[in-house]
Structure 1
Amino acid sequence: MLGEDGSRLKDRAQGLVGVAVPYRRQGLGARLADELERFATDNQVKWLEIDVRESNLAGAEPFLRARGFVELERYRTSVQQPARVDLSDLDRRRSQLRGDGIETTAFATIDSPQAREELYRATMPIWRDMPHEPHVDWEDPPIETFLKSVFEGPSVLLDSYFVALDGDHIVGLSYLIRRPDGDAEVGDTGVLRSHRRRGIARTLKMMVTRHAAEHGIKRVHTDNRADNTGMLAINRELGFVPGEQIIIFEKTLRSEA
């Protein structure tokens, strides 16, 4: 499976099975699921994922478990109203980081071919370091594909892209993605392992929040793995209100030879 950012899942695909309410309990879901699994198997997929909203779990879980799916992981959704968040401490935090040699700025202020290459070099290990199951793997996108998804795609709000710099090296990032309803959602927020526990992620996310408030974005959505306690704590401090969970189910379609 190829993601919007150009990364390709290894031996894995994400599926969707849905039936409109008036047509349920007629076997349509089972037939669609059979076709989905058949297609995945024919294309050498080893693991098939299905996402289920918590509000649909009571009906979907028995169906999936009967077909051999097991729970893989959970994500917690949350929503923030940026205009209501107290950001009075932001300038002090940025100044403190600056004193430690870390500059926080909009990517637009440093944009150049070299800076874009640096963004790619920083993003790849940040992705790898985000919580995920050990057997979930992917191929990093080529730099050209990654940069095209960021700078030429329709979703990333480029003026909301903030980075942390240690000298000329990007060590942290946070940005927003456009939603069709006028809201926004957090794309990625991450810091290289070498620079964690210094308040960089919180500061960058505060900068993103201020940008959203100043540009009239009424709501910012995000989801984080339910066991990512560090980021969930930052979210709570920045006014994100927890919503329903998204449960990822997985089925192993073939075993190792």
Structure 2
Amino acid sequence: MCPNGKKRKGDEGAEDTTNNDHLVTSDDQNHPANLIPSLCAKFWTLGWVTGTGGGASIRDDDLVYIAPSGVQKELMKASDLYVLALSQQTDLKNRVYLRSPPGGRPSQCTPLFLAAFTKRGAGCCIHTHSHWAVLVTLLLEAQGPGQDKVFEINNIEQIKGFGRGFQKQGNLDYHDTLRIPVIENTSHEEDLTEFLEEAMDKYPDTYAVLVRRHGVYVWGDNVHKAKTMCESLDYLFQLAVEMKQLGLPWLSNVPKVITSSGR
């Protein structure tokens, strides 16, 4: 047993652990325990987390706040959240929780959230089941093997909502090409982890990974950046689907306009 709770093998239900309710009790609306339910309720209105799917996780220094599994995301409360300390995790399949609500289960996305926190130093990771994200993976799939592993788009203003990459300064320019890798779906969400990590290694500058016929994972240095990129990406996915319907290419050669400032 750790000082703040008991170790559980896997995530098959919750044991009677030390509740540590103080970890999810705060009057601050920006506290992770309040932000996650608030964000998920808003994401529900966008169709991103319907049917209990999808979710979000926020890292606050060493503490990680995780949405529960199988809960209507628009009805989630702070008391439903799980909390763990990154420094106490030695095995992603046997996680140590500081807080485990009785009768629940942490999100099946948990190991993927942790990958974003440990491999990218992210402060927030969001998973949506956006139908625009799913449609983009289907359009890529229709292009055939070898042309279905990465979504690429350039010369669109919303691309400027993305950072240049891990530990890099500044954001992309609208002339830049945004690349989002695609991984194959699996029957169990946690089994996606190794493929997500492989995609991170292959595309070190990406802030998102598409899961074919499933959805998308998006992460950022903090909640604001993760939310901004998630919204920007969903806009681009919808635009890409409509561009395809109109026969317009996602990649184009648009000359850069030189302004009086020389930029």
Q: Provide TM-score, normalisation by structure 1.
A: 0.23
Structure (1/2) with the larger strand percentage: 1
- Tell me which of the two structures has the higher relative contact order, counting C-alpha pairs closer than 8 angstroms and 6 or more residues apart: 1
Which structure has the larger Rg over C-alpha atoms? 1
Q: Provide TM-score, normalisation by structure 2.
A: 0.23
